[in-house]
Amino acid sequence: MEANGLGSQGFPELKNDTFLRAAWGEATDYTPVWCMRQAGRYLPEFRETRAAQDFFSTCRSPEACCELTLQPLRRFPLDAAIIFSDILVVPQALGMEVTMVPGKGPSFPEPLREERDLERLRDPASVTSELGYVFQAITLTRQRLAGRVPLIGFAGAPWTLMTYMIEGGSSSTMAQAKRWLYQKPQASHQLLRILTDALVPYLVGQVAAGAQALQLFESHAGHLGPQLFSQFALPYIRDVSKRVKARLQQAGLAPVPMIIFAKDGHFALEELAQAGYEVVGLDWTVAPEKARERVGKTVTLQGNLDPCALYASEEEIGQLVQQMLDDFGPQRYIANLGHGLYPDMDPEHVGAFVDAVHRHSRLLRQN
């Protein structure tokens, strides 16, 4: 760090690196905590900021993304910020139209139906020029954070993005996307390769812009069994980490820890632990001690309180957190929820969760 308090990229010096140290597997004085969707509709100030414009316009405004990213940090002593954006900006940058329908979620008016529809997609190498607004938001947020906590960048994993592009929105079965895997395996691999080729420079660009860690969301892992997962999801998850790390090195950028969160992908926990990510995120359906046994000592675990536990009383939240921390153990662990925060959750209870993690993890280390 230079003497003026600015780091190598001219950003303010980091004051709280607990999250990064835990991610790298180093010892920490307490357990760091952040929440998926911590910048979300459960915060009245988020709803107020968002009310003025449609969802993707917000994503394209660096100023708005920065404000939304910082809001939860004004309320809670979280140990990391995660940039406000959406995984579907990547399909958008590849030329697909996506709208966010209030109360329904994302919608693709013209989803991919046939193999020839892949020809409509833009060159994946052009994606970074389309997503400059994300990089601007990261740089602005990193400056405004003033070194308070690290900033996490993220993207959706190839299979999860593929599901949206084929289903045209959310789906309970992913039957259309899975039909592609069985009926058009070649075209499926082609699409997954296009997405991987877009994601690698996008993630590297986030680090160049100031992101200090990266999370890959394989939100729809649970729709694939072990065979399909190891055929159509895992190779691309591995490829993303390998290529991002190589690219960072080539660009002369310092390595950043990478997190893989494959929701309901517990059947592939061992494989995920060896996929080239420093941190494996767990959803709430996985028992922490069993997960720790299965992944061994080489990775950090992140998770995994049931988000609905935040509907419990503050006292009970404290007890649940205590149990969770006891199960995960004090080191190589980042506390989080097992999924994102829901819009109807009480911010006070989110605060109780964060405080309980800090309080109990300090006590754990004293004993």
What are the strands, taking DSSP E only, across 141-289?
151-156, 213-218, 258-262, 279-281
Q: How far is CA 108 from the centre of its chain?
A: 22
Q: Which residues contact 63 (CB under 8 A, 6 or more apart)?
A: 140
Rounded to whole angstroms, the Cα distance separating 38 from 40 reads: 6
Which residues have a catalytic role annotated?
37, 41, 50, 86, 164
What CA–CA distances, in Å, run from 264 to 53, 218, 223?
33, 9, 8
Q: Identify the DSSP state of 224.
A: S
Among residues 264, 279, 330, the alpha carbon closest in space to that of 152 is found at: 279
357 phi and psi, to 5 degrees? Answer: -60, -50
Q: Which residues contact 177 (CB under 8 A, 6 or more apart)?
A: 162, 163, 166, 167, 171, 223
Q: Which residues contact 135 (CB under 8 A, 6 or more apart)?
A: 128, 205, 206, 208, 209
| Residue 66 burial class via C-beta count within 10 angstroms: exposed 0-12, middle 13-18, buried 19 and up | buried
* Other CB atoms within 10 A of residue 111 CB: 18
